[in-house]
Structure 1
Amino acid sequence: MANLENLLNKKIAACITRKEDFPEALSHPNIKVIFALKGSINYLPSLIKKSAEAGKFLIVHLDLFEGIGKDQEGIHFLARLGLTGIVTTKSNLIKFGRAEGMITVQRIFVVDSESLKTAIKVAKQIRPHAIEVLPSTIPAYVIQELQQSLNIPILAGGFVRTEADVHEALSKGVTAISTSLRKLWNLKLG
């Protein structure tokens, strides 16, 4: 299994919401990890194959992808297709993904101290390989608490629009930024 932290050494992961945008991420020299945030199971086998051929690591957002059963059998099917990574807000899907040998990313929304406590408690139980925290504008102490409590890579997404936003999020201690903005894919950070 790939080490996600090593895959994120360039500090930027591409987020794709339309299959038409996929070729740019596949050919981009600064992108190693691609988050497919939206799409259809009908073209997923092609995305998996093209990602592997390009040497990119594909992580599919299960909550937003259409046609994928949000259960153990759906995860098993994805593993059989060759998908190596998933992101989701649903802890049961993280468990199923881990059981299939996939890289798992738990997406969390931190809106207050209680949501942070709950996220840490759940992550300790299900043991995702990484956390993606939204929004990226959260205080540094939230990132520090996640790191100290979980000791796994922390990604930040949402509200990343400028190079300054990227540097601010990275200065808080996140491992990498996930963004759909192509201009930010060009940043040389790693």
Structure 2
Amino acid sequence: MGFLETIMEGTKIGGALRRLEDLEELIGHPKIRTIFLLGGDVNQLPNAIKRIRVAQKNVLAHIDLIEGIGKDKAGIHLLKRMGVQGIVTTKSNLVKLTHDEGLWVVQRVFIVDSESIKTAIRVASDMKPSAVEILPATVPRFVIRDLKKSLGIPVLAGGLLRTEADVREAFEKGIDAVSTSLRHLWQFS
């Protein structure tokens, strides 16, 4: 099974956790199956990940945003030992290392112009992540179409989604799933 079935469990909304104070609400949310950790530090992480896993939810850690974790093989191995199922990163060198650890990997890319689309396709084609996450989620339809056609992997999106209409539009453009920290959008799943 692929990323969408295994990690997203067929849902289209992943809960983005920026502040650990919001963890209980995310864990208890009936529609959220996947939590994207977008902050915290190495001291807080073991307990948070354990609570997420006990709640039988999936967890991906954005390694670039977590303080005290090396952005290297040892950091990825540590996150695996803590219980994450995958890593989110903007750093292409970490994609292969994450695969080597047997984890799912989402390569996050920022789409700001036509050149960034070409670069994202080239890098993801070489690194072979499990999925790509584009930011912002409000990119034109052709960006999503080009990524999907060139890469053949799920395209997630995050950033600049405020309303259910924004989320609906992202899905209509071809986005497979979104991550959001906005509570009122978690219901949309």
Post-superposition shift, 1:4?
2.1
Query: Who is 1:5 aligned against?
Result: 4
| Deviation string, structure 1 residues 13-42 (Cα, Å, up to 9, x no partner) | 101111110111111010011111011111
Task: Give the TM-score normalised by the residue count of structure 2.
Answer: 0.95
CA distance in 2 between partners of 1:36 and 1:11 (Å): 17
Listed as ranges, the matches of 1:72-151 within 5 Å are: 72-151=73-152
CA distance in 1 between partners of 2:107 and 2:13 (Å): 18
Post-superposition shift, 1:44?
1.1
Post-superposition shift, 1:3?
3.5
Post-superposition shift, 1:80?
2.2
| Deviation string, structure 1 residues 68-121 (Cα, Å, up to 9, x no partner) | 001111112222222221101001111111100111000000111111111111
Query: Who is 1:64 aligned against?
Result: 65
CA distance in 2 between partners of 1:88 and 1:30 (Å): 25
Runs of 4+ in 1 over 3 A off after TM superposition: none
Query: Who is 2:172 aligned against?
Result: 171
CA distance in 1 between partners of 2:65 and 2:39 (Å): 5
CA distance in 1 between partners of 2:49 and 2:39 (Å): 14
Task: Give the TM-score normalised by the residue count of structure 1.
Answer: 0.95
Query: Who is 2:53 aligned against?
Result: 52
CA distance in 2 between partners of 1:4 and 1:182 (Å): 23
Alpha-carbon contact 2:53-2:83 (below 8 Å) kept? no
Higher-RCO chain (CA-CA 8 Å, sequence separation at least 6): 1
Tell me which amino acid in the other structure corresponds to 1:178.
Answer: S
- For structure 2, list consecutive stretches of 5 or more residues without a partner in the other structure: none
CA RMSD of aligned residues (A): 1.1
Q: Percent of pairs identical after alignment?
A: 52
CA distance in 2 between partners of 1:23 and 1:47 (Å): 9
Listed as ranges, the matches of 1:36-51 within 5 Å are: 36-51=37-52
Number of aligned residues: 187
- For structure 1, list consecutive stretches of 5 or more residues without a partner in the other structure: none
Q: Which moved more, 1:93-102 or 1:42-51?
A: 42-51
